[in-house]
A and B are shown apart, each in its own frame.
Chain A
Amino acid sequence: MQNLWLIPALPFIGFLINGIFGRKLPKVAINAIAVLSVVLSFGLVVGVGLSSDWGTNPVHQHYFTWIKSGAFEVGWDFAVDKLTMIMLMIVTGIGSLIHIYATGYMAHEEGYYRFFAYLNLFMFFMLNLVLAANYLILFVGWEGVGLCSYLLIGFYFVKKSATTAGNKAFIVNRIGDFGFSLAMFLIVVSFGTLDFAKVFEAAPGKSVEVLTAIAMLMLLGATGKSAQIPLYVWLPDAMEGPTPVSALIHAATMVTAGVYMCSRSAAIFTHAPAAMELVAIIGLLTAVFAATIGMTQYDIKKVFAYSTVSQLGYMFLGVGVGAFSAGVWHLMTHAFFKALLFLGAGSVIHACHGEQDMRHMGGLRKYAPWTMGTLACASLAIAGFPFTSGFFSKDAILGAAFAHAPWMFWVGVITAGMTAFYVWRAFWMTFWGEYKGHGHPHESPWSMLGPLVVLAFLSIAGGFLFNVPKILESMFPIKEVEGEMTLTAISVTFGLLGIGISYYMYVVNTELPGKIANSLGGFYRLVYDKYRVDEAYDTAVVQPLVEGSTTVLWHGVDQGVIDGIVNGVGHQSKGIGGVLRRIQSGNIRSYATWVAVGAVALLIALGLGGGVR
């Protein structure tokens, strides 16, 4: 039971075996190793849960001291409490399902073993992140999942767009990581330690300015990892990676690392109100922003990508208004239904032989009924249909938002309506009407459908099964919200409205979307172009950097100064040598003269040096 290290170690062993020997192993072996390592990890997690009463009795394990410098010490520590248990179950559980799904989805892909090796490596790092008992180990996991994200986004490395997207993800994440590193430095300076327990114990005693600074820097890191404004731009491009990657990393686990980190650091955030406010506003803004973009996109994966950004915004909203457990609850339910949405999209893409544009789909309910059914469950959950898992978690957040500031509630509710709209728009476009594509769509194999069914069940029933605020009550006390029933009714209404409008626009009156788009003209195009944020970043940040690097650093410093110095030294030596060469004139008399001059110089030197007394 006490071997917490086994939990990440098993996927790591899977990575090593598949990475080193995978080329020669048969597919069955690769499958077995990859899937088993994660499933066994899940089993271990369950075992830890049972033995520690699901985190009520915290477990802390110290493995070795990594850094010891004076009074500052950091060890490789793992700890399990209730929050960790929730995260562990999500990561290993959904991870296992996606691994099983991937065996079916990637069956015909090149580099099969490489994919599973990377996926296992990702699991290793993510589990490190979640199990960490101090900020440094968390950062190790943080960076590691960023690396795996880069590797997996650029998995189809022969495609330039994929490698570019991988680069973009890594670089944008790096900016966030910079903020996180600064936060860690500040913590070391203020607290003298990176250990969670010690930091949170001492947090109330520090000044608000310091805590706000730390929290804001952590927020910067979280916006990078969890794709919030301003560092969200990598997530839509990350859809270049295979769909299981999008499901696992960019829906269920990696992007939630930011929310997890903020929840874990609740002690710091609660004492820095300004930072919390900023978190909430950024979350809300991102939610609205991404939802509007999601309403216009035609690529099914892009719709869900923007949906992820938007839902992450909800989680940050929850954290920002102080409802940490609500944020974590939404994290969990979002993991269920978003993973399901992505896997289902993958199933759809698989059915249409690689087609991702929804305008070339339609009428798939005849060909892929199981996919349709599971995706319907997910869409209901995300729209907040009453009593689905999404309904509970979203209402918890919106209620807390209302208690904090009513305007946030209203914006959030409108966004909920937009969420319902775009998800069901995607659903109707994909499954209703007539099939507009080429070829013969077909249902996916059971290796893919199995996990879909499991996730569908969790999306519907997850809210009842796991009442996260109740679970985390000891860590984050539950606050009662007045008028909760009214608020719930309002948000449900907006959700149903969204479903209804989308049904009307995409099933009943299919001309309407085109007419609305035309009448909105320029504004529609702006939203369709994702508000041209990427272009803005390019002009404002990327181009100047590249220009500056080329002219200043490359031509100026490298070629001019450094090469100039090095070449210049050679040049000068040549010049001086050229001058000195004139002494060797071949004329004996001039040699004689130089001898005499040298003798004079020696005499003077001796005289000055007191050689003559």
Chain B
Amino acid sequence: MDLFFFSLFAFIALICAVNVVLQKHPISSALSLVGVMASLAVLYLLLGAEFVAMSQVIVYAGAVMVLFVFVIMLLNAGIEVHHGRSWMAKLLGFPAFLAILGLLCFFVQRGFPNVGSVRFGDWEGGGAQQVGYALFTEYLLPFEVTSVLILIAIIGAIVLARKELD
């Protein structure tokens, strides 16, 4: 059963990811990205990371991607036209992609030969209680710092995007 769910959602994730890259209109790419995030959330669940899965759906898919869609709408971004050139990207892009893919897979195979397997529900350590506990004890400092980071981001975003006062 786990294998079936994994294959299904992994397949969906991959298709959507490829779609992100290959679609011409940005809005299609955005929707595909939402699909990727959703399937990833399911995969997180399979791995026992309940809290992260939920926050992925709520924050990532729910807030960040909505933001993307809003901006696409605001900017009236149309179908991509083929202007400009970068021969460097064409020349080295494809080999680089293949190289990264190949190398990562190779290292994964080489580096983790004796890992265990994942069954749904075989680990209870990812629940809200555990995450919350770690967040407020061991990782308190990053937590507080992150709040400052978000504050800065808010200020930055507002400053950058507001209308010029005439």
Q: In the complex they form, do A and B come into direct contact, defined as C-beta atoms under 8 angstroms apart?
A: yes
B103→A597 contact, CB < 8 A: no
Please give, as numbers and ranges, the residues of chain A lying within 8 Å of B106 by CB-CB distance.
607
A599→B89 contact, CB < 8 A: no
B88→A585 contact, CB < 8 A: yes
Residues of chain B from 80 to 110 with CB closer than 8 A to chain A in the complex: 84, 86, 88-89, 92-93, 96-97, 99-100, 103-104, 106-107, 110
CA distance A604 to B104 in the complex (A): 10
The size of the chain B interface, using a CB distance under 8 A, is 16
A600→B86 contact, CB < 8 A: no
CA distance A585 to B88 in the complex (A): 10
Please give, as numbers and ranges, the residues of chain A lying within 8 Å of B116 by CB-CB distance.
none
- How many A-B residue pairs have C-beta atoms within 8 angstroms? Tell me: 44
Chain B contact residues: helix, strand, loop or mixed: helix
Which one of A587, A599, A603 contacts B88 once the chains associate, using CB atoms below 8 Å?
A587
B87 (CB) vs chain A CBs: closest residue: A590
A612→B92 contact, CB < 8 A: no
A446 at the interface (CB under 8 A from B): no
Please give, as numbers and ranges, the residues of chain B lying within 8 Å of A596 by CB-CB distance.
92-93, 96-97, 100
Please give, as numbers and ranges, the residues of chain A lying within 8 Å of B88 by CB-CB distance.
585, 587, 589-590, 593-594
Which one of B92, B97, B103 contacts A603 once the chains associate, using CB atoms below 8 Å?
B103
User: Known contacts A599-B100, A600-B96; is A593 also within 8 Å of B86 by CB?
Assistant: yes
B84 (CB) vs chain A CBs: closest residue: A587
Which one of A593, A594, A607, A613 contacts B103 once the chains associate, using CB atoms below 8 Å?
A607
User: Known contacts A597-B92, A597-B96; is A612 also within 8 Å of B110 by CB?
Assistant: yes
A612→B111 contact, CB < 8 A: yes
A600 (CB) vs chain B CBs: closest residue: B99
B89→A590 contact, CB < 8 A: yes
CA distance A238 to B75 in the complex (A): 98
A592 at the interface (CB under 8 A from B): yes
The size of the chain A interface, using a CB distance under 8 A, is 16
CA distance A596 to B92 in the complex (A): 9
Which one of B84, B89, B107 contacts A607 once the chains associate, using CB atoms below 8 Å?
B107
B96→A587 contact, CB < 8 A: no
User: Known contacts A597-B96, A604-B103; is A592 also within 8 Å of B111 by CB?
Assistant: no
Please give, as numbers and ranges, the residues of chain B lying within 8 Å of A603 by CB-CB distance.
100, 103-104, 107
A590→B100 contact, CB < 8 A: no
CA distance A607 to B108 in the complex (A): 11
B98 (CB) vs chain A CBs: closest residue: A600
Residues of chain A from 548 to 593 with CB closer than 8 A to chain B in the complex: 585, 587, 589-590, 592-593
B96→A593 contact, CB < 8 A: yes
CA distance A612 to B103 in the complex (A): 12
A587→B97 contact, CB < 8 A: no
CA distance A592 to B99 in the complex (A): 15
Shortest CB-to-CB span from A387 to chain B, Å, is 107
Please give, as numbers and ranges, the residues of chain A lying within 8 Å of B104 by CB-CB distance.
603
CA distance A594 to B84 in the complex (A): 18
Q: Which of B89, B97, B107 counts the most A-chain CB atoms under 10 A from its CB?
A: B89
CA distance A599 to B103 in the complex (A): 11
CA distance A589 to B82 in the complex (A): 14
CA distance A14 to B88 in the complex (A): 82
B103→A587 contact, CB < 8 A: no
Shortest CB-to-CB span from B115 to chain A, Å, is 14
Shortest CB-to-CB span from B21 to chain A, Å, is 13
CA distance A587 to B85 in the complex (A): 9
Please give, as numbers and ranges, the residues of chain B lying within 8 Å of A592 by CB-CB distance.
89
Please give, as numbers and ranges, the residues of chain A lying within 8 Å of B96 by CB-CB distance.
593, 596-597, 600
A593→B100 contact, CB < 8 A: no
Please give, as numbers and ranges, the residues of chain B lying within 8 Å of A597 by CB-CB distance.
92, 96
Which one of A593, A604, A613 contacts B93 once the chains associate, using CB atoms below 8 Å?
A593
A589→B86 contact, CB < 8 A: yes
CA distance A600 to B106 in the complex (A): 13
Please give, as numbers and ranges, the residues of chain B lying within 8 Å of A589 by CB-CB distance.
86, 88-89
User: Known contacts A593-B92, A593-B93, A596-B100; is A613 also within 8 Å of B86 by CB?
Assistant: no
Shortest CB-to-CB span from B158 to chain A, Å, is 25
Shortest CB-to-CB span from A578 to chain B, Å, is 17
Shortest CB-to-CB span from A222 to chain B, Å, is 78
Shortest CB-to-CB span from A493 to chain B, Å, is 106
Please give, as numbers and ranges, the residues of chain B lying within 8 Å of A604 by CB-CB distance.
103
A600→B89 contact, CB < 8 A: no
Q: Mark B59-97, 1 if CB is under 8 A from A, else 0.
A: 000000000000000000000000010101100110011
A602 (CB) vs chain B CBs: closest residue: B103
CA distance A592 to B100 in the complex (A): 14
Please give, as numbers and ranges, the residues of chain B lying within 8 Å of A599 by CB-CB distance.
100
B93→A600 contact, CB < 8 A: no
Closest 8 pairs between A and B when the two form their complex, measured CB to CB: A590-B88, A596-B96, A589-B86, A589-B89, A600-B99, A612-B111, A603-B103, A593-B89
Sample of 12 A–B contacts (CB below 8 Å)? A585-B88, A589-B88, A593-B86, A593-B89, A593-B96, A594-B88, A596-B97, A596-B100, A600-B99, A600-B103, A603-B103, A603-B104
Query: Measuring CB to CB, which residues of chain A are less than 8 angstroms from any residue of chain B?
Result: 585, 587, 589-590, 592-594, 596-597, 599-600, 603-604, 607, 612-613
